[in-house]
């Protein structure tokens, strides 16, 4: 996975011998375990009505699983060294489009499939604009956000569509299998397995990571850089649209403003999951774990009596704090404390600030 061009180091035992990604994954497992342990022991209502109810470990999923799906989508784009700010608005637009198709008389499932496909086309267009004109993905997708949001508001009209069929709401929203496993969890699991296979087990995935790590190297190695980046944008838009379907089904309505609020949590999960924001490094399971850590943190802290506000502050601090720690541990990888002290106190030149040349 880690294709950094570091010279081989003598093998070390224990945690120091593992590569950065794996160590980060283990830390995430630890954080998740600690979080669940704390909530189980300290917050008696966290388990609420046991497995089956909506007030339990699995039931909380309906508050965050759509965000996790969005994270998986943005992850592809971030792996390729780009960013996609349009996913939030995309999911809102997809929901509105689906609902309006349905109100226009279309079968609900046909409407779902058609909206997801159309959103994939919008992602394709964004990717084409970015690679064809060689523009910054941040700006193009920002413009895409604005345009999609306007389109969603205009299309839904003064009264956002509601009254979606109960079969649809239960299938993608609040329904469960055998009263225990939420349907959304099944959808998420399928997407997560798919994403893991795409990134870590496919030819496209390897090209994606290489493109994110070093575009020049990828181009000289014969990878079609633009095509790979465009594919990432298509995947991102598709996942966002699927997330939008789940949002619409969960809330029973399709609204333009439900999507964009999910963008920041989604990107937070990707970054906390250990994917390098400059692309080219990371593990998909990390993103999955991070999205669950963030997802359970909110209901857990709320049950613990912490206010909504403090919960969001905690998420922000968690993001910054964990990245600070990760950055330090990455830079210090393979060195001992004594070596670091000697480097710092010795006659070596002070380290430069991060620039594209020396961040990785």
310 binds another protein (CB under 8 A): yes
Q: List the one residue from 139, 193, 341, 343 that touches another protein (CB under 8 A).
A: 139
147 binds another protein (CB under 8 A): yes
Counting residues that bind another protein (by CB under 8 A) gives 57
Q: How far apart are CA 72 and CA 356, in angstroms?
A: 26
Q: List the one residue from 61, 123, 127, 144 that touches another protein (CB under 8 A).
A: 144
Q: List the one residue from 47, 51, 63, 278 that touches another protein (CB under 8 A).
A: 278
Q: How many CB atoms sit inside 10 A of residue 70's CB?
A: 33
- 274 vs 247, 287, 288, 307, CA distance in Å? 26, 7, 10, 28
Which CB atom, from 182 or from 300, has the smaller least distance to another protein? Answer: 300
Which CB atom, from 33 or from 139, has the smaller least distance to another protein? Answer: 139
Q: Which residues of 260-272 are buried (b: 16+ CB within 10 A; e: fewer)?
A: bebbbbbbbbbbb
Interacting span for another protein (CB under 8 A) from 44-52, 166-174, 230-238, 322-330: 322-330
Which CB atom, from 48 or from 123, has the smaller least distance to another protein? Answer: 123
- Of 217, 269, 225, 219, whose CA–CA distance to 243 is shortest? 269
Q: How far apart are CA 279 and CA 213, in angstroms?
A: 6
User: Looking only at residues 224 through 253 of this chain, which bind another protein when binding is defined by CB under 8 A?
Assistant: 225
User: Looking only at residues 75 through 104 of this chain, which bind another protein when binding is defined by CB under 8 A?
Assistant: 81-83
Q: List the one residue from 57, 114, 142, 227 that touches another protein (CB under 8 A).
A: 142
User: Looking only at residues 183 through 202 of this chain, which bind another protein when binding is defined by CB under 8 A?
Assistant: none
- Kindly state the DSSP code that residue 174 receives in the 8-state scheme: I
29 binds another protein (CB under 8 A): no
Give the β-pairing of 176-177 and 181-182.
antiparallel
Q: How far apart are CA 106 and CA 262, in angstroms?
A: 28
With H, G, I as helix, E, B as strand and everything else as coil, classify residue 253.
Answer: strand
- Kindly state the DSSP code that residue 162 receives in the 8-state scheme: B
Q: List the one residue from 3, 194, 306, 323 that touches another protein (CB under 8 A).
A: 323
Q: How many CA atoms lie within 13 A of 45 on its CB side?
A: 9
316 binds another protein (CB under 8 A): yes
The answer to whether the beta carbons of residues 46 and 55 sit under 8 Å apart is no
Give the contacts of 237 (CB within 8 A, at least 6 positions apart): 73, 84, 86, 87, 90, 119, 120, 122, 123, 124, 126
Interacting span for another protein (CB under 8 A) from 61-69, 159-167, 283-291, 312-320: 312-320
146 binds another protein (CB under 8 A): yes
Q: List the one residue from 110, 313, 341, 343 that touches another protein (CB under 8 A).
A: 313
Which CB atom, from 62 or from 256, has the smaller least distance to another protein? Answer: 256
Nearest 10 degrees: Cα torsion 219, 269, 117, 235: 20
Interacting span for another protein (CB under 8 A) from 26-34, 46-54, 290-298, 351-359: 351-359
Q: List the one residue from 1, 29, 118, 264 that touches another protein (CB under 8 A).
A: 264
- The residue ranges that bind another protein (CB under 8 A) are 81-83, 129, 132-136, 138-140, 142-147, 149-151, 153-154, 215-216, 219, 225, 260, 264, 267-268, 271, 277-279, 308-310, 312-313, 315-317, 319-320, 323-324, 327, 331, 352-359
């Amino acid at each position: 996975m880690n294709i950094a061009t570091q010279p081989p180091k003598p093998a070390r035992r224990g945690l120091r011998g593992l590569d950065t990604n794996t160590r980060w994954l283990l830390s995430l497992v630890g954080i998740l375990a600690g979080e669940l342990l704390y909530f189980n022991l300290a917050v008696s209502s966290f388990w609420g009505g046991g497995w089956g109810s909506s007030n339990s470990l699995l039931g909380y999923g309906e508050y965050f699983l759509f965000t996790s799906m969005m994270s998986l989508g943005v992850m592809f784009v971030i792996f390729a060294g780009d960013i996609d700010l349009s996913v939030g608005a995309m999911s809102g637009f997809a929901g509105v489009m689906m609902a309006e198709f349905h109100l226009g008389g279309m079968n609900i499932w046909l409407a779902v499939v058609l909206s997801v496909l159309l959103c994939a086309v919008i992602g394709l267009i964004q990717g084409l604009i970015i690679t064809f004109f060689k523009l910054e993905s941040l700006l193009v997708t920002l413009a895409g956000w604005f345009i999609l949001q306007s389109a969603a508001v205009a299309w839904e009209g003064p009264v956002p569509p509601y009254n979606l069929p109960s079969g649809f709401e239960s299938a993608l929203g609040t329904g469960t299998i055998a009263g225990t496993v939420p349907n959304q969890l099944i959808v998420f699991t399928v997407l997560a397995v798919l994403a893991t296979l795409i990134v870590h087990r496919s030819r496209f995935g390897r090209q994606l990571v290489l493109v994110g790590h070093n575009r020049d190297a990828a181009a000289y190695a014969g990878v079609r850089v633009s095509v790979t980046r465009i594919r990432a944008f298509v995947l991102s838009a598709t996942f966002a649209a699927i997330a939008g379907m789940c949002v619409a089904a969960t809330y029973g309505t399709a609204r333009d403003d439900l999507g964009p609020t999910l963008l920041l949590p989604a990107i937070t999960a990707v970054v906390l999951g250990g994917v390098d924001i400059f692309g080219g490094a990371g593990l998909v399971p990390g993103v999955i774990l991070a999205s669950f850590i963030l997802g359970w943190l909110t209901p857990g802290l709320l049950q613990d009596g912490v206010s909504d506000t403090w919960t969001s502050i905690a998420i922000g601090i968690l993001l910054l704090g964990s990245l600070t720690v990760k950055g330090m541990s990455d830079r210090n990888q393979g060195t001992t404390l004594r070596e670091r002290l000697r480097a710092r106190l010795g006659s070596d030149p002070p380290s430069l600030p991060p620039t594209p040349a020396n961040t990785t």
